Amino acid sequence: MKYSPWYTLTEESQYNNYLNSIYQEYGSPFNMANEESFTDMFQWYEKLYPAVARSKVFSEYCIKLFGTDLSQQGFYTMAQLDLMLSKLNPVSDTCILEIGCGLGKFSEYISDNFGSIVYGIDYSPAAIAIVKERTKTKRKKLSFETGNINTIKYPENTFDIVLALDCIFFASDLKTTLKNIHSWLRPNGKLAVIYGVFRFDKSEPVEIMYANTSPLANAFHDAGFTYKVFDFTKQLYEHQLLKRKTVLELKQKFTDDGTLFLYEYLYRESVDLSAGFDEFREFAAYYLYLYEKI
């Protein structure tokens, strides 16, 4: 039996049935190194982003859980984003690339609050169409385009900061992706990666969970890059408990809104309220990696 990532094992059958129904229609999100899975999952995001953008209940969920509505589907909190930004120190006219920008609200948040010039890419045309329309009066500071993390290209020394938040698992080769980003960064430019490691199968080596031997850490080592890392795992656990409570409170509103699938999606990516941190830590780790080009 595979280890169920977010729930007690008593929910295993229900969880597997749910995932099977999603994966049969949209493909699995957990094997993005496989191009077929990468392509199939595209359809899921094409459904997800327009629903998130339209749903007033999803906006209420974001405000309740995060304190502000940035259309968050990831696992990072505003406190973690603020810590990351304090290390990156963006200022007016800092040139930033956000990979996997989704609906672009975090890119917009940075630009609005720091005056930075932000370029966002995402492989969902639906998301990019929505964010372009929403930010059309801010084109001097914000630009968005459709792009695939495995094929995008930029000139050398283009960006002061590159962000990859809960999305670098889409990369088919982490070492190659890091080297590409390194080339796009200007001297003293910085890369920030928020990265989750989820050991769904207990036969996988436990070392993949550790900050300095995770697949991303190994890619940094192989590329010859030195990084700093911050452990967000305890905060992720606490956040996922709160997420479960929040979505349960909003279930009826999601039903009335006609977006019950968003409730199911959020519920399944939260933690059973009876789960302890030691149990959670066996299969989940969450880190911020920072790299500066010297």
- pLDDT for residue 36: 46
H or E stretch covering 65 = helix 56-66
pLDDT tens digit string along 186-233?
999 999 999 999 997 889 999 999 999 999 999 999 999 999 999 999
**How far is Cα 120 from Cα 105, in angstroms, rounded to an integer?**
10
| pLDDT confidence of residue 29 | 38
Angstrom distance (rounded) from CA 89 to CA 80: 14
The answer to whether 111 touches 119, Cβ cutoff 8 Å, is no
Hey, what amino acid is at 253? K
Which residue, among 104, 130, 145, 166, has the nearest Cα to 51 in the 3D structure? 130
- Give the residue with greater pLDDT, 9 vs 101: 101
* pLDDT tens-digit map of 57-82: 999 999 999 999 999 988 999 999 99
What sign results for the dihedral spanned by CA atoms 63, 69, 73, 74? negative
Strand pairing category for 95-99 and 117-122 = parallel
9-292 is classed in which CATH architecture?
3-Layer(aba) Sandwich (3.40)
Q: Kindly list the strands in the beta sheet with 185-198, ordered across the sheet, starting from the edge strand earlier in the chain.
A: 142-146, 117-122, 95-99, 159-165, 185-198, 284-292, 227-231
DSSP element (H, E) containing 257: helix 251-257
**66: which 2 tokens?**
């995060």
Residues paired with 235 in a beta bridge: none
* pLDDT tens for each residue of 136-168: 999 999 999 999 999 999 999 999 999 999 999
* Residue that the structure tokens 């088919």 belong to: 172
> How far is Cα 277 from Cα 238, in angstroms, rounded to an integer?
9
Residues in Cβ contact with 6 at an 8 Å cutoff, skipping those fewer than 6 apart: 15, 240, 268, 269, 270, 271, 272
The predicted model gives 36-55 an average pLDDT of 81
Sign of the Cα torsion 17, 266, 82, 130 reads positive
Q: pLDDT band at residue 13, thresholds of 50, 70 and 90?
A: very low
Is residue 34 over pLDDT 80? Answer: no
Taking the domains of the chain in order of start, what are their residue ranges? 9-292
Average pLDDT over residues 13-23: 45
Average of per-residue pLDDT across 233-259: 96
CA–CA distance, 37 with 59 (Å, rounded to integer): 29
